[in-house]
Amino acid sequence: MIHTGFPAGGPTLGEVGERGVIQAIVGAAPSAVNGDDAAVLGPAAPNSRVVASTDMLVQDRHFSPRYTTAYQVGRKAVVQNFADIEAMGARPIAALLALSAPPSTPVAVVEELARGVGAMTQAWGAELVGGDVTSSSELVVSVTAIGSLGGNLDALRLDRARPGQRVVAHGVIGCSAAGLALLQSGVDIPAELAPLVAAHQAPAITPGRGVVARAAGATAMTDNSDGLIKDLTTLANASGVGIDLSSVALTPDPLLVRAGELLGTDPWEWVLTGGEDHTLVGTVDGSAPVGFRSIGTVTRTPGVRVDGAQPAHAGGWESFA
């Protein structure tokens, strides 16, 4: 069953005040180190470095209650930030949540959102360790992720791809975009396509895959947040290389094909430009690491191609479009 909508009724943020809002968040996502002026984290492992990233979700720009739940927004906010930590080959260890919302927002919305944040941080063995709340005209959710990069190996930077390497991916590609298209279309969504909707509402990757890839010799990595062609173009340009993707490896699966038939859309558009799957995409010498699959090769010729030709679809998410 597909669930959408935010809770309604009950006390509002304006009625309970800042302290009540914070208590609601801490109660929904408890942590022993959350509650002071700042969180004091345990000592990092020997020979490790701190990795940090932040991202935000704005209502009616990045999500809408018409297409998702507050719980799913909380999960999504963590995944998009922890995917950035994983893409560096690091392990997420903590998250900070900054939340602004209209005073008329029901407390239940914040509680549900915080439960989503808590559930997803726990999936990585991490914690929500602090944050901030304030009033605004719209709901904005911002998560800062903190990670640990252990050992002497280099981080998986964008500028470390080399010609001759294999391009590998972990996670689905195109499913989030297809799920959003289904929700926005207003059609009666068949039960068989519910996994596509779920991929948009709460994208997921397996915790630890970035660490595995780094240990297996990966050199560069990113996550598919803005569109496969767009994100790989960023990686290729930073490294001064090209990428040739395999159409066989990227062939839309039956669910994407079925959704394309239902909506009259070429499923390749979702695969190549969709984004928001937060799939980890990287480069490696030799075989694909455990949990990854090969989707192409790194070349000396600049640009991103599919089977040596310009992709049928390009573009992707633009923050200020």
Q: Domain count of the chain?
A: 2
SS3 135: strand
Pair 103, 176 in one domain: no
Pair 29, 129 in one domain: yes
Return the percentage of the chain with pLDDT > 70, whole number.
100
Does 83 reside within a domain? yes
Does 74 reside within a domain? yes
Examine the pLDDT at 32 and tell me if it is beyond 90.
Answer: no
Tell me the C-alpha distance between 57 and 117, whole Å. 13
The pLDDT tens digits of the residues spanning 99-124 come to 999 999 999 999 999 999 999 999 99
pTM of the shown model: 0.93
Does 311 reside within a domain? no
pLDDT band at 317; cut points 50, 70, 90:
confident
Q: Which helix (H) or strand (E) holds 71?
A: helix 70-87
- Residues present in the chain in total: 321
Pair 30, 80 in one domain: yes
Pair 137, 189 in one domain: no
The pLDDT tens digits of the residues spanning 6-27 come to 999 999 999 999 889 888 888 8
Query: What domain range is 49 assigned to?
Result: 13-150
Give the domain CATH number at 86. Answer: 3.30.1330.10
Does 319 reside within a domain? no
Examine the pLDDT at 43 and tell me if it is beyond 90.
Answer: no
CB under 8 Å to 174, separation ≥6 — which residues?
A: 228, 252, 256, 267, 270, 271, 272, 274, 277
Alpha-carbon dihedral 75, 55, 259, 65, rounded to 10 degrees: 60
Pair 30, 140 in one domain: yes
CB under 8 Å to 94, separation ≥6 — which residues?
A: 39, 41, 121, 126, 127, 128, 129, 145, 146
Q: How many CB atoms lie within 10 A of CB 256?
A: 26
pLDDT at site 30? 87
Pair 45, 128 in one domain: yes
Q: Which of the 8 DSSP states describes residue 309? A: B
Does 263 reside within a domain? yes
Pair 195, 130 in one domain: no
Examine the pLDDT at 36 and tell me if it is beyond 80.
Answer: no
Residue type present at position 121: T
Last residue of a domain, one of 150, 169, 186: 150
Last residue of a domain, one of 123, 150, 177: 150
- Paired tokens of 105: 């927002």
Return the percentage of the chain with pLDDT > 90, whole number.
86
Pair 167, 256 in one domain: yes
Residue, of 317 and 262, whose pLDDT is higher: 262
| Sheet strands side by side (includes 48-58) | 48-58, 140-150, 91-101, 127-135
Pair 171, 188 in one domain: yes
Nearest to 51 by CA among 95, 111, 7: 95
Give the domain CATH number at 300. Answer: 3.90.650.10
Tell me the C-alpha distance between 204 and 256, whole Å. 17
Last residue of a domain, one of 127, 150, 173: 150
pLDDT band at 296; cut points 50, 70, 90:
very high
Pair 226, 290 in one domain: yes
Pair 54, 162 in one domain: no
- Paired tokens of 290: 């455990």
**Pairing label, strands 48-58, 140-150:** antiparallel
pLDDT at site 315? 86
Does 221 reside within a domain? yes
Pair 165, 143 in one domain: no
Q: 278-291: buried (b, 16+ CB within 10 Å) or exposed (e) per residue?
A: bbbbbbbeeebbeb
**Mean per-residue pLDDT over the chain, rounded:** 95
